[in-house]
Structure 1
Amino acid sequence: MGLPVVQTGDKAPLGKRLFILLQQLIPQHFLSSLMYALARSEIGFIKNSVIRIVNWMFDINMQDAVVKDPLAYPSFNAFFTRALEPASRPLDSNSTTIISPVDGAVSQAGHIESGLLFQAKGIHYSITALLGGDAETAKRFSDGDFATIYLSPRDYHRIHMPVDGKLSSMTHVPGELFSVNETTTSLIPGLFARNERIINLFETPAGPMALIMVGAIFVGSMDTVWAGTVTPSSKRISHQEYLDQPHAEISLEKGEEMGRFNMGSTVILLFGKNQVNLDGMIAAGREVKMGERIGTRIQA
């Protein structure tokens, strides 16, 4: 894809620019493949060492986990994608509410204006590009609403349904694997439309919804409950339809697990025009927990 164009309006410090340059120079996919293998190693001293280091670096709360001993997991990836006690993430069960699909921090949220989503100060990006160039699907979300939620390494990494939904399609878009932290999102235009991602389209009581799983550095793979581990087999976009195929119909209830990240990354939610109200419920910087209310659907 060539050199990333770094946002210059804020005159970012040299250290941040070097951080971006380093990400561009390193073999992102090769390093992510190595991490994929390391994270699944069941050799005791390897997986225990990695778990201890990550646990120490990010002060991970294990009290919510079903298995509370971090070294009891068979691999680092099993530890990283650990299940939580259901009582630790109560669901807002009101039929009109939209819940957070993940634990994380809200990067941005708001309206989709003129086919653009807000990424960071001075940076917008195209919804069509985010959706892998699918202009027809982009029209379904024109003037709608979006929320971008960042998952840090300390967060719970399973992804759940914000509302009841029937899976319409899944599209895997190969791409870069830049970090998706605050520094990178503020400096690389169109970051989320450049990184590898899985676009999951659902038909819901709140109209069409896209739940987009964005890959990042060291996110060697992403999982969905219907397709298992999704990894790029080529540099081409792959697409699978699910509606009108009774043998492949996938319906999930609000709060039900739909996938997971194998290492941290970002989820982007898209809703159609006049379908949901996110105003005042989520704002940039707010931390959210899976299951809590982040909006309501607008009832006709």
Structure 2
Amino acid sequence: MNNTAWREKFLLNEDLNFLLTNRIPRVAATRFMGWYSRIRSPVLTRLSIAVWRLFTDLDLSEAREQRFDSLHACFTRELKPGLRPFDADPATVCSPSDAIVGACGPIDGTDVLQAKGSPYPLRELLRSDAIAQRMQGGRYTTLRLTSAMYHRFHAPHALAVDRVTYISGDTWNVNPIALKRVQRLFCKNERAVIECRLSGLGNAPLILVPVAAVLVASIRLHWLNVLLHLRWPGPNVIPCAAAMSKGEEMGWFEHGSTIIVLTPPGLDLAPGIQSGVRIKAGQALLRQRTDGATASLGHTD
């Protein structure tokens, strides 16, 4: 049995997958990975990458560097220049990262979906009734980064960051198996709520919620002079004043995880975007409507 077939057989065994990725001391395993990934040893790194490839479709051909002295350097690798061009259309909000599109849909009530038949309260994810109310009538899109993907994420549009709320929490796996079994999983895990305004779309609100997961040791946001991780208790609310151009790098995860994108009314999914589709950073994720609905863009009350 070749590696691909073995990997598929393993992933199909949901009970085993769930047991091995969730019924372990998740926080302890995550802290261990944070320590282990920073060991500077080219030999150990090559061995670790070889094991990693047994379980994933890791492809390093796009990486700017081809040799790594630690797993951390491989996890957070840069790509060769020009490989993720961002759609320049100002009416387009791009994907901030490479990802698989998960649950997505309109925000027309108090709950949204993490998987089919598994809702969670938006206000609980954001820890804010006010922000949840502000995004009513808009759209949520869940982007899942697998461990083998490019882990850096970028500004999906020209924007200004006003505030980051860091929420410490658990580190459940965020793969589809766990999303079906663990209720309100995104509301349990460590995450950051990034409040933005879309500079080219009337300062309409945009919320990005990077959600950490098992073995994700930290979330790096470049405009903050701090590494957000499980050992950092706060302060939880961090005022910001950061302007970013479309495609500018915002930060990275140190393993696979999820970004939840909350967008205002007047934006619809771009053609071809639906649950299960693989997408790359810079690809059109949502487009501004060309009908009268665009009038709602820019409303921030």
Q: Residue type of the partner of 1:184?
A: A
* Alignment of 1:106 onto 2:97: no
Question: Structure 2 stretches of 5 or more lacking a match?
Answer: 1-12, 296-301
Q: Secondary structure at the match of 2:82?
A: helix
How many Å separate the matches in 2 of 1:53 and 1:22? 16
CA contact (8 A) 2:160 2:244 kept: yes
What is the CA deviation profile of residues 194-245 of structure 1, one whole-angstrom value per residue up to 9, with x for unaligned ones?
1110111101134111111101000011111112421134667711112xxx
For 2:157, the equivalent position in structure 1 comes to 163
Deviation at 1:73, TM superposition (A): 1.5
Match of 1:289 among 261, 276, 280: 280
CA contact (8 A) 1:281 1:294 kept: no
* Alignment of 1:250 onto 2:242: yes
How many Å separate the matches in 1 of 2:238 and 2:75? 28
Deviation at 1:104, TM superposition (A): 1.1
Match of 1:266 among 222, 243, 258: 258
Deviation at 1:59, TM superposition (A): 3.5
What is the CA deviation profile of residues 90-143 of structure 1, one whole-angstrom value per residue up to 9, with x for unaligned ones?
2111111111111110011110121211221211111100102x1111111112
Q: Residue type of the partner of 1:151?
A: L
Match of 2:215 among 197, 215, 218: 218
CA contact (8 A) 2:102 2:276 kept: yes
Following superposition of structure 1 onto structure 2, how do residues 67-216 of structure 1 map, counting pairs within 5 Å? 67=65, 69=66, 72-132=67-127, 134-204=128-198, 205-206=200-201, 207-216=204-213
How many Å separate the matches in 1 of 2:147 and 2:23? 23
CA contact (8 A) 1:109 1:284 kept: yes
CA contact (8 A) 1:103 1:288 kept: yes
Paired positions, count: 276
Root mean square deviation of aligned Cα: 2.1
CA contact (8 A) 1:178 1:216 kept: yes
Q: Secondary structure at the match of 1:139?
A: helix
How many Å separate the matches in 2 of 1:250 and 1:281? 32
Match of 2:238 among 237, 240, 254: 240
Q: Secondary structure at the match of 2:48?
A: helix
Q: Residue type of the partner of 1:85?
A: K
For 2:7, the equivalent position in structure 1 comes to none
How many Å separate the matches in 1 of 2:197 and 2:157? 10
How many Å separate the matches in 2 of 1:119 and 1:83? 29
How many Å separate the matches in 1 of 2:180 and 2:42? 39
CA contact (8 A) 1:281 1:295 kept: no
Deviation at 1:44, TM superposition (A): 3.1
- Rate the CA distance shift 1:188–1:87 in 2: closer, same or farther, 3 A: same
For 1:40, the equivalent position in structure 2 comes to 38
CA contact (8 A) 2:98 2:145 kept: yes
TM-score by length of 1: 0.86
